A = this chain, B = another copy of it.
Amino acid sequence: MRDEDGAVALEPPPGESPIVVLVRPQLAENIGAAARAMANGGLFHLRLVAPREGWPGPGQTNRAWATASGASRILEAAQVFATLDEAVADCQRVLGTCPRPRHVVIPLHTARDAARELRAAGARGLRHAVLFGPERAGLEAEDLARCDALVRYPLNPGFSSLNLAQAVMVMAYEWWVAADATPPRQLQTHKTRVATRGELEGLMAHLLAELDACGFLRNAAKRPGMVRNLRHCFTRGEITEQEVRTLHGVVAELSLGRMRRGRPEG
């Protein structure tokens, strides 16, 4: 689903969000897909280092714009550099994503911790960037030597190769979540609210009266247990006030039907 307004609305002030640096990206469609992932996570600033097919190269443009799926302003504002040194020359904090262990002495962050690190850098007013290597090979040793720290996502070690846009997605997602206040779980109640115990008891009273009338609870010894079990059915989940009213109707209609059936034919 395109969301041009969203794409237009999402530009954060420079310095407040990390600059995404794609180092020697190979395919235009991956650059576009990365831009879409950036938009999903509220990132905006994109820098390209020596894109293999050039930027925007012949025919490239459309392919990138297509996979960007509405995040076109990120592509339009993207800056292109010949070398990584030029791309990060104005940055004060640089993290590099690196899926595979490399023989370097450098701090290593999980994606989640890196997100906190980036948020902290932004809060300090430091211009900060995250580097993503080429599709196949990833960042080279010379690239890593330009990073303050590396980011390695905890993922299935048996299958750790991420698509470029997927790698950007995970980092953008973690960056967004690092400042998100959504409660982990809530009950979405549309134009209604969770029923009170009083409303629930009203339903139970109605139900029990009808069940007594039809003899379902005739076994006096078993009655208390059966009533408790019925009560548990309604208290296990959070029944809403609207659902209580619906269930009142269900009980009434079922009893009515029973009485109708009870009436002699013709």
| Chain A positions near chain B (C-beta within 8 angstroms) | 1-3, 5-7, 9-10, 33, 36-37, 39-42, 69-71, 101, 103-113, 117, 136, 149-150, 152-163, 165-166, 169-170, 173, 176-177, 180, 182-192, 240, 242-243
Contacts and interface: CB of A to CB of B under 8 A. Distances in A.
A45 to B, nearest CB: 14
- Report the copy number of this chain in the oligomer: 2
Contacts of A3: 158-161
A107 B158 contact: no
A153 B173 contact: yes
A233 to B, nearest CB: 15
Residue among A39, A156, A192 facing the most chain B CB atoms (10 A cut-off): A156
Given A154-B182, A166-B169, A190-B105, A40 B113 contact: no
Given A150-B188, A154-B180, A166-B165, A159 B107 contact: no
Nearest to A7: B159
